[in-house]
Structure 1
Amino acid sequence: MVALHQGQISVESQPEEGTRFVVALPLCQPEVMVSPPPVFVYEEEVLPHELIPAAGTDFRILIVEDDKDVQQYLQQLLSSYALTVAEHGLQALVLLQDQTFDLVLTDVMMPEMNGIELCKKIRQSPKLAYLPIVMLTARSTVVEELEGLSMGADEYIAKPFKPQVLLARLDGLLQARTRLKEYYHRQILLQPSEVIIPNADKEFLEKAMRIVEDHLMDGDFSVQDLLDAMSMSQSVFYRRMKSITGQSVIEFIRDVRMKRAAQLLATSSYRISEIAYMVGVEDPKNFRKSFQRVYQMSPSDYVRQHREGSFTSSDDTP
């Protein structure tokens, strides 16, 4: 036992006086008590009803977090959203190239690529710059917060956080996407060049509309033609178009054609069949059907309401 502790033992013995055993052990420093790292615990609170995401929401959130406990907590808290998890920034960038999301929720301190660098990469990418970014971090000094915001983060939330605060911040950013869709339905069909929306989304929509308008008279212009001109993959383009307008790519192309048709119906003296041909629709019946679906009225009714000095005879068909 003494040897195991790197000690020494000796014996002193005198006849008729007795025996003395001496044990010498090395002196150790006092044991240092190390406290375990704090557990990532959040206070349970009742959430206001209006801040709980509606079931079946179409919003897609990418969570970028390397801590398994935090991952699990966020997945439970945000379970009403469609969630995908990445463990660091590099993995997140791969997912962002293959899929489309409505928001990125990222930690700051992570291996491989941290949240600050991820935010910078997203903002530098023309295909990703439109994404809202929320940062979660234990680094909560003013300097660190300013660093995150300067890289383009929309929100910077310190850990531990109150769940209703996080939900409110996410809801605000996601509702802005919803308002964008509503704005599209109200105005983009009438004045596409005057739509006031976030720059990245505006540039994306304007480019797509410009390409379609450049091929208005081409009735064979297809979704694939638009994808090729935009230099985007089908999945990324489809999801981004859906997130901005709430519509499919086919519906978007139809809307651009019908928007131009509406302008011609209101401001020109062309007959309806001629206008249909000018926007790439050769069949008058298909033109009327598409126009009715977009504007909730027939082309002839639209002429009567919007063209000055119009007569029923200006229409080819009733």
Structure 2
Amino acid sequence: MTESILVVDDNREILEFLSEVLGDTYKIHLAESAEIALQVMDTEVIQLIVLDVMLPGMDGFELCQLVKSNVEYCHIPIVLLTSKNSHRSHITGLEAGADAYIRKPFSPEFLQVQIANLLNNRLKIKAHFATSPFEDVRVMAHSKTDETFLKQLDDYIRKNIQDSQIDIDKLAEHMNMSRPTFYRKIKSLSALSPKELIDITRLKKAAGLIAENAYSLAEISRMVGYSTQSLFSRNFQKHFKVSPNEYLKSLPLAK
């Protein structure tokens, strides 16, 4: 998957320059103001924002703070660009929630490395969550707001886990979001669709039940909302790279 980056700067030449520097690696969205940036975030799945401090109207510090305080966007890492070289402005950027702070002028290579590090670290966390049977969903949280969001989401899915057709619209409504906003949030936060996240939650619950060694695999597949044991076994193998039976045999209590 090619990550999408939103570049926000009121200087058209800077936008074009950054588009050239980053465009070969990422899908780039451009915005000349905070207002346009918010419109883009309302319609696109954004993985990272490169944000200039000096903007007309709402400045970069204010936009950064707004993004980091909004549950719909707070998971998105932000790289602040600024020509202000004072310690005070650096502190202001960090207080606003910026994940990286780069002073102008900067080398393109330095910006690319900063972006790659932020994205790669998050991709590793997402992959670890998806492939580890017992990893909690909150491992993907990068703020208290996201931690609360993910806990509420996980609780709802697990409460309704026996329902093989969990309604995405009802789930989005439970999270106080529209379906498109909910989809963008989950996709950007976890690299999964809501349906995929539900399926992985089913499999993690199943892993816990297998570890209890108190139910047959047929019983467990029904308990976590699978219509057939064969589908459950295929999905378990796909995500955890081991079959349910092999997983059971690998557990200390099964030996």
TM-score (norm 2): 0.88
**Structure 1 residue 115 corresponds to structure 2 residue 60:** yes
Q: 1:296 to 1:141 in 2, by over 3 A?
A: closer
For residue 94 of structure 2, the aligned residue among 103, 124, 149 is 149
**Structure 1 residue 76 corresponds to structure 2 residue 5:** no
Q: Distance in 2 between matches of 1:145 and 1:255?
A: 40
Counting only pairs closer than 5 Å after superposition, residues 75-114 of structure 1 correspond to structure 2 as: 75-80=19-24, 81-114=26-59
**1:105 Cα deviation after fit:** 0.9
**1:70 Cα deviation after fit:** 0.9
**1:169-195 alpha-carbon deviations (Å, 9 max, x no partner):** 2122112221222221343x3131673
For 2:15, the aligned partner's letter is Q
For residue 299 of structure 1, the aligned residue among 238, 244, 247 is 244
**1:125 Cα deviation after fit:** 0.7
Q: 1:274 to 1:152 in 2, by over 3 A?
A: same
Q: Distance in 1 between matches of 2:185 and 2:217?
A: 33
For 1:279, the aligned partner's letter is V
Q: Is the partner of 1:241 in helix, strand or coil? A: helix
**Structure 1 residue 192 corresponds to structure 2 residue 136:** yes
Higher mean C-alpha displacement, 96-105 vs 299-308: 299-308
Report which of the two structures shows the higher radius of gyration computed on alpha carbons.
1
Q: 1:87 to 1:195 in 2, by over 3 A?
A: closer
Provide structure 1 residue ranges, at least 5 long, that are not aligned to the other structure: 1-56, 311-318
Q: 1:288 to 1:65 in 2, by over 3 A?
A: same
Provide structure 2 residue ranges, at least 5 long, that are not aligned to the other structure: none
Q: Distance in 1 between matches of 2:248 and 2:213?
A: 10
Alignment-derived partner of residue 7 in structure 1:
none
Counting only pairs closer than 5 Å after superposition, residues 93-242 of structure 1 correspond to structure 2 as: 93-187=38-132, 189-192=133-136, 195=139, 197-199=141-143, 200-242=145-187
**1:271-296 alpha-carbon deviations (Å, 9 max, x no partner):** 22222221112322322222232333
Q: Distance in 2 between matches of 1:97 and 1:244?
A: 15
| RMSD over aligned Cα atoms | 2.3
Say which structure, 1 or 2, has more relative contact order (CA 8 Å, 6+ apart). 2
**1:75 Cα deviation after fit:** 0.8
**Structure 1 residue 248 corresponds to structure 2 residue 193:** yes
Alignment-derived partner of residue 47 in structure 1:
none
TM-score (norm 1): 0.72
**1:257 Cα deviation after fit:** 0.8
Q: Distance in 2 between matches of 1:297 and 1:269?
A: 20
**1:10-59 alpha-carbon deviations (Å, 9 max, x no partner):** xxxxxxxxxxxxxxxxxxxxxxxxxxxxxxxxxxxxxxxxxxxxxxx611
Alignment-derived partner of residue 2 in structure 2:
58
**1:108-147 alpha-carbon deviations (Å, 9 max, x no partner):** 1121211111111112212211221111122222222222
For 2:250, the aligned partner's letter is Q
Of Structure 1 and Structure 2, the greater helix share is in 2
Q: Is the partner of 1:288 in helix, strand or coil? A: helix
**Structure 1 residue 288 corresponds to structure 2 residue 233:** yes
Given that 1:238 and 1:249 are in contact with CA atoms closer than 8 Å, whether structure 2 keeps it comes out as yes
Q: Is the partner of 1:90 in helix, strand or coil? A: helix
Given that 1:177 and 1:243 are in contact with CA atoms closer than 8 Å, whether structure 2 keeps it comes out as no
**1:309 Cα deviation after fit:** 5.5
In the alignment of these two chains, the number of paired residues is 253
For 2:57, the aligned partner's letter is E
